């Protein structure tokens, strides 16, 4: 479906766009951002992460969701589309603007690209911190094995580690899972990073590469 994007949207207009468009859109302060489209590496990493996490989580009644699942974000309403969302508890959804949004994610994962990296590391992380159940954040590079892992500590502090050894693993304590980088980057082609010519802080539409 072809969608004519306006300069500014009300929330009611945005919800109508979400219900009628075949694309996924995020809303912030009247602007809409197209979340569709992904590189080959992005797709491979997403598949690998789901294949690794899903069997482990389902054994304990947990879930891992792909990028088409909305997550309620209190300080950046109405919701956002993380690349992957994981939790051990029974999922709780809330109806927002006529669509379902998950309210209790434990782990959020973003697969970085030149156009989204600064946003995912900065404002996006700040917004996600307002989710009460949110405990771990993974930022996964596309062009080479490299994962930044944040874990919430007492007093709203966050500790992080950078892992770039292809033979290393990352423990996700809040969902009791381990990610081996060799599995995360299976069939992913390493390449030099592209220049950052776009940023999701720019107005109107930014497509995820």
User: What's the pLDDT band for 107 if we cut at 50, 70, 90?
Assistant: very high
Mean pLDDT for 2-14 is 73
Of residues 60, 94, 56, the one with CA closest to residue 177 = 56
The pLDDT value given to residue 189: 87
Beta pairing partners, 138: 109, 149
* Chain mean pLDDT for the chain: 87
The strand ranges marked E within 71-202 are 71-72, 79-80, 84-87, 93-96, 99-102, 107-111, 136-140, 147-152, 158-163, 169-172, 177-180
Task: Report the topology of domain 38-184.
Answer: tt1808, chain A (3.90.1570)
Neighbours of 15 (CB within 10 A): 18
Residue 7 CA to residue 25 CA, distance in Å, equals 14
**What 3-state DSSP class applies to 133?**
coil
Answer whether residue 115 shows pLDDT above 60. yes
pLDDT tens digit string along 186-207? 999 887 655 443 334 333 333 3
Domain boundaries of the chain, sorted by first residue? 38-184
| The pTM of the whole model exceeds 0.75 | yes
Pick the range with the lowest mean pLDDT from 13-27, 34-48, 189-203: 189-203
Of residues 207, 208, 201, 209, the one with CA closest to residue 28 = 201
């Amino acid at each position: 479906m072809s969608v004519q994007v306006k300069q500014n949207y009300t929330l009611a207009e945005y919800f109508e766009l979400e219900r009628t468009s075949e694309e996924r859109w995020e809303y912030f302060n009247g602007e809409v951002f197209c979340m569709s489209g992904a590189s080959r590496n992005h797709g491979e990493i997403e598949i690998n992460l789901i294949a690794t996490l899903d069997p482990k989580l389902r054994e304990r009644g947990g879930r891992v969701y792909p990028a088409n699942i909305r997550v309620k974000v209190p300080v950046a309403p109405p919701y956002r589309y993380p690349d992957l969302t994981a939790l051990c508890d029974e999922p709780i959804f809330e109806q927002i603007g006529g669509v379902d949004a998950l309210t209790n994610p434990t782990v959020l994962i973003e697969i970085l690209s030149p156009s989204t990296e600064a946003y995912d590391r900065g404002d996006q992380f700040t917004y996600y911190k307002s989710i009460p159940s949110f405990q771990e954040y993974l930022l996964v590079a596309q062009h080479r094995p490299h994962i930044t892992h944040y874990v919430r500590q007492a007093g709203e502090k966050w500790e992080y580690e950078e892992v770039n050894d292809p033979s290393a693993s990352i423990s996700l304590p809040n969902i009791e899972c381990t990610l081996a980088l060799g599995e995360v980057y299976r069939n992913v082609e390493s390449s030099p990073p592209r220049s950052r010519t776009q940023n999701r802080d720019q107005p109107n539409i930014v497509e995820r590469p």
